[in-house]
Amino acid sequence: MLPLLILLTLLLAGDPGGTSAATPPPPPQPNLPIGVNYGANADNLPAPTAVAAFLASKTTINRVKLFDYNPTFISAFANTSISVAITLPNSLLPSLADKSTGLTTAVSWVRANLAPYVPATNVTLLLAGNEILLSPDPNLILALLPAMRRLAQALKSEGFPSIRVSTPHYLGILAPSDGIPSNATFRAGYNTKLFPSMLQFHRDTKSPFMVNPYPYFSYNPQTLNYALFRPNAGIYDPATKLNYTSMFEAQMDAIYTAMVKLGYGDVEVAVGEAGWPTQAEAGQVGVGVKEAQDFNEGMLRVCSSGKGTPLMPNRTFETYLFSLFDENQKPGPVAERHFGLFNPDFAPVYDLGLLTDGKSVAPNPSPNPSPKPSPKPSPSGGGTWCVAKNGANSSDLQNNINWGCGYVDCKPIQTGGACFDPNNVQAHASYVMNAYYQANGHTDSACDFKGTGTVTSSDPSYGDCKYVS
């Protein structure tokens, strides 16, 4: 067997191809559109038609990603507002990649498995396999890009030019590094022999480069707050002078940096999978309903609200949360069976503000929070401020901190910051709540925080800690 890099060089060069008990925090912003992975490796789930009707009529979820091309599932979404991404099996890729017969195979597949359901079902993505680069089979890896090209050609020739072709990648496509985004590159070999051609394909076809960033698989007890979008000291990137307080954002910017280094920073990035389990092995630190809620709320803020990441600000990302339901028949560790957002009866496992009837949507301080209030609060000199009520439940106040730090600059309450002392939840929450209040029009509703905030005319600033006014 030829070494992998030689095989990559030969095949890619030769393929011209074509183209908790505490009260839940307020959700990040009600009614944010979001996608979800719909897996069905379980024996207790509702029928696909019921799922489709629920998503379309009761939630703000506007797209689903299927892990196969089961016609029952595809047709269930016919005549709904939900767009669908369907996945071709890894095993099909070599036949699609064949130079002489691959295009014919791709056309036949499109006619048999896609054409009967479109346009009644709004299929928007074809995914060529799943995390192919994890495969130990170099021939499968070599088939990936040629198969994507053949699929794109077949879609165009069969009258479906708006359906895009992509493939989800695991984060191991990046070379091992120190976690500093600016140091990121794609793995050796892939960096020169695979991804330049693949990113050119995405540019040519206006399709997204899809990644599966999972802080859950990279965290440890020391980095839990960093992984869950909770207040933390962060990771400083000396090259960009940016401080990352979210592992997810650092992972996204690492991917973006690797793309930029190859000259493809203009290609859209999509999130194929990301989530956090509600159960795992006994004694595992950092897993539970509250942790899953905090992570997914943070990811919604980054991907769907327009906040973006430090290197990709003010952007939204096509994103698919993992996952719609727990899947009780999945093999592997306990966590694999407990990523679900909804129970089989469609009741939310926890509140992300995804139900349109309002039953799971907690009040938000403002319908349009500003993602970028002033990073350097100026000394206050009058007016009104928002602070935590005396006697407010500490868990509720911590929830306010966790949520608010997704929208305001929390560096002053982190270690070494001007407002770190007194190091208690009442003081820290007051700072965060006020920063949010001031950035959102200093209205009473922006200081509500589910009844834990109060407006005051007394300046709460002290020493070097200056509250915005």
Model pLDDT for residues 40-54, shown as the tens digit of each residue: 999 999 999 999 999
Grouping H, G, I as helix, E, B as strand and the rest as coil, residue 462 is strand
Predicted local distance difference test score (pLDDT) of residue 289: 97
Q: Tell me the sheet residues that pair with 86.
A: 126
Separation of alpha carbons 223 and 229, rounded Å = 10
* Closest-CA residue to 250 (of 154, 180, 321): 180
Predicted local distance difference test score (pLDDT) of residue 449: 86
Residues with catalytic roles: 131, 273
In terms of average pLDDT, the best of 1-5, 16-20, 90-94, 395-399 is 90-94
- The pLDDT tens digits of the residues spanning 174-214 come to 998 889 999 999 999 999 999 999 999 999 999 999 999 99
Separation of alpha carbons 319 and 123, rounded Å = 16
* Closest-CA residue to 189 (of 437, 351, 62, 3): 3
Predicted local distance difference test score (pLDDT) of residue 397: 87
- From its phi and psi, is residue 18 left (phi > 0), alpha (psi between -120 and 50) or beta? left
Domains of the chain (ranges, CATH numbers): 4-337 (3.20.20.80), 364-469 (1.20.58)
Predicted local distance difference test score (pLDDT) of residue 75: 97
Mean pLDDT of 210-227: 96
Predicted local distance difference test score (pLDDT) of residue 95: 97
Confidence label for 342 from pLDDT (cuts 50, 70 and 90): very high
